[in-house]
Structure 1
């Protein structure tokens, strides 16, 4: 196993910090690279919601081979798994009011976890580890990219190739992820 690269972010709603996020990148066995993002938040949505979130994305030679996304809340738990099966991704995605098992045909090189560590290019195709869907990455302006995932528009902001901020639309609450270090 190699060294870990670790980045810290805060999660913000309406200007108020509601949690912390850590993104890590590290080498696995035999040419694999892993990206791991974990967060813990507390917020009000018709009652207190406590959420622990973990997503791990495994790459082999710059292609996604497996992802696992877990959300554990005091209102229910959700799990999404995606795995490359030789000629397609097998999808088993479950999140708040959403399920998906439709396979994805082509190998992919981009997902949210990787975007913490590397700036994409316009036209790259993005895999949502949570929803199990693929969509094109659009460049809005220099250093700003937009991805529409199941009707939710997410914007990624880079400065000198570093991810500084994400503005996310979410069925429960819209929020921002801001770099701390």
Structure 2
């Protein structure tokens, strides 16, 4: 009887693991070769939805102390992007950007430091910025950016990297065997490099 219960529990455990598979990646964040923070990306795959989470922490000096904790939470139903929430906490204030699918369009309310954007985008999207950490954008020409709430163009660079134009900032993503190894990010405050460490 005890043996049957144990086998049943083991079967149940592996069934749950199969239903909710999780993939975790870790990155360092650096400026001019100096590490200023870290980033963790998590993908949880369920039976009917995939959840993507991204959290980054930075702490550095640039004409004053800059500290930031940025958390992004996004959901997909099969291949369609459904919604995202991006919460930014800094010593300059707190900001929130949300994107939600409603019937046939996305309702967008994006806010960050000295930036506000409210809009609608008609029609479904199958790729957003957070997916860049888990899936090489081989057949992707545009994506929905969770931070600014805008559609960004994706171009394959001549040197093997992908360029993503986000509100005028050109970010470069480098992949090996389909996995992201490095991203060079343009930012209004300071450009930085995201490098995979796990």
Structure 1 unaligned residues grouped into runs of 5+: none
Equivalent residue, structure 2, for 1:124: 141
Counterpart-to-counterpart distance in 2, 1:162 and 1:142: 16
Counterpart-to-counterpart distance in 1, 2:53 and 2:43: 6
Equivalent residue, structure 1, for 2:162: 145
How big is the shift at 1:74?
1.4
Computed over aligned residues only, the root mean square deviation of the Cα atoms, in angstroms, reads: 1.3
- How does 1:149-168 map onto structure 2 within 5 Å? 149-168=166-185
Q: Does 1:57 align with 2:74?
A: yes
SS of the equivalent of 1:141 reads coil
Name the larger-Rg structure. Answer: 2
Q: Does 1:66 align with 2:75?
A: no
SS of the equivalent of 1:130 reads coil
2:38 to 7, 16, 20: 20
SS of the equivalent of 1:113 reads helix
The structure that is helix-richer by fraction is: 2
SS of the equivalent of 2:131 reads helix
SS of the equivalent of 2:75 reads strand
Asked if the contact 1:143/1:161 (under 8 Å) is kept, the reply is no
Counterpart-to-counterpart distance in 2, 1:142 and 1:60: 33
Task: State TM-score, norm by structure 1.
Answer: 0.95
Q: Does 1:113 align with 2:135?
A: no
Equivalent residue, structure 1, for 2:114: 97
How big is the shift at 1:3?
2.6
How big is the shift at 1:48?
0.8
> Which of structure 1's runs of 4+ aligned residues deviate more than 3 A?
none
SS of the equivalent of 1:103 reads strand
Equivalent residue, structure 2, for 1:87: 104
Comparing both chains, which one has the higher relative contact order based on Cα–Cα distances under 8 Å and sequence gaps of 6 or more?
A: 1
